[in-house]
Amino acid sequence: MTQSQNNLIEKLQTALNEADTLIIGAGAGLSTAAGYTYSGERFRKYFFDFEEKYGFHDMYSGGFTQFESDEEKWAFWSRNIWINRYAPIPSDLYEKLYELVKDKDYFVITTNVDHCFQRAGFDKKRLFYTQGDYGLFQSSDPSGSFAHQTYDNRDAVLKMLEAQGFEIGEDDTLIVRDPKQIQMHIPSELIPYCEDDGKEMAMNLRADDTFVEDEGWHTAAQRYTEFIRRHSGTKTLLMELGVGYNTPSIIKFPFWRITAANKDAVYACLNYGQAYAPDEIKDRSICINGDIREILMKL
């Protein structure tokens, strides 16, 4: 880490210490820094058969693949859901972040769907997951009185995994005893259907206009809006962690606007290669290009 980076980290430490209000905006880069890699060894360990048959080399690409059957599709998604939502978090980065900010008046807005903040100890009433949750199903065609319903999926996913030949450890680790015994499909009777409208389930992930914003989503959105309103004008640190430019209107642009409107606000952008602030707020911005984990460990 360069001297310039160390100086910026010292500035961030000062801003964090002096802030009365902390707003955290987290993107995929934070979970990547915590070990949630979607390719490489982690991918091959659990999706070796899908890679061989379909030729994709990461979980993200797999999510857009047209599988030969629904039985294969849910075999893929059950593995994806479990290792990215229920299995142990690959590292203690989220727990370290919680220890860093737990005594602050904070709120978290995130586009991540792995639920790591709540699992690491963050107060669920101070969290807003804007893009969904790997732990929820919804109807594939939500409408009418069921248009805002989501459903916990842990038990259904567990049955799918066991039917494929996986074992689940006491800590919820997904265990592959013998790759040759792993089935690349689930039994047809385990394909999930909505208990309310009878239609096949889908992931509660924002991909199109069928995404369900349930009661919990709207409650969290209201809490976040109220937190911003109530703390307007306070000494605020807006800490953006690993947020890219896929959906800048959710975190990045609002953070810039809040900083510009509040003379006592500081904007911090921690990103590997994309740390940037517009000229209008540069004098109150701390942009650090580097590994988020290394940066947070320095604080």
pLDDT for residue 2: 78
Please work out, in degrees rounded to the nearest 5, the angle formed at the alpha carbon of residue 235 by the alpha carbons of 103 and 270.
Answer: 75
Global pTM? Answer: 0.95
Dist CA 100 CA 241 (whole Å) = 14
* DSSP-derived pairing of the beta strands 151-152 and 167-168: unpaired
Which pLDDT belongs to residue 145? Answer: 82
Distance (Å, whole) CA 273 – CA 281: 19
Residue 3 lies inside a defined structural domain of this protein: no
Distance (Å, whole) CA 164 – CA 61? 21
As a whole number of angstroms, the distance between CA 152 and CA 144 comes to: 20
Does residue 75 lie in a domain region? yes
Is residue 277 one of the residues assigned to a domain? no
**Domain span at residue 197?**
21-230
Query: Residue 283: inside a domain, yes or no?
Result: no
Instruction: Kindly report, residue by residue over 74-125, the tens digit of the pLDDT.
Output: 999 999 999 999 999 999 999 999 999 999 999 999 999 999 999 999 999 9
Please give the Cα distance from 136 to 152 (Å, whole number). Answer: 5
Domain count, the chain: 1
**pLDDT of 5:** 87
CB atoms within 10 A of CB 210: 14
DSSP 162-209: HHHT-EE-TT--EE-S-GGG--SS--GGGS-B-TTT-PBEEEEE-SST
- In the chain, the percentage of residues whose pLDDT exceeds 70 is 100
Distance CA(259)–CA(234), nearest Å, equals: 11
* pLDDT above 90: percentage of residues in the chain: 95
- Does 67 fall in a domain? yes
Residue 139 lies in a domain: yes
| Sheet of strand 201-205, all strands in order from the earlier edge strand to the far edge | 151-152, 132-139, 201-205
Does 236 map to a domain? Answer: no
- For 251, half-sphere exposure in the C-beta direction (CA atoms, 13 angstrom radius) is 29
Cα–Cα distance for residue pair 206/210, rounded to 1 Å: 8
13 near 7, Cβ under 8 Å? Answer: no
Spans of the chain, pLDDT less than 70: 1
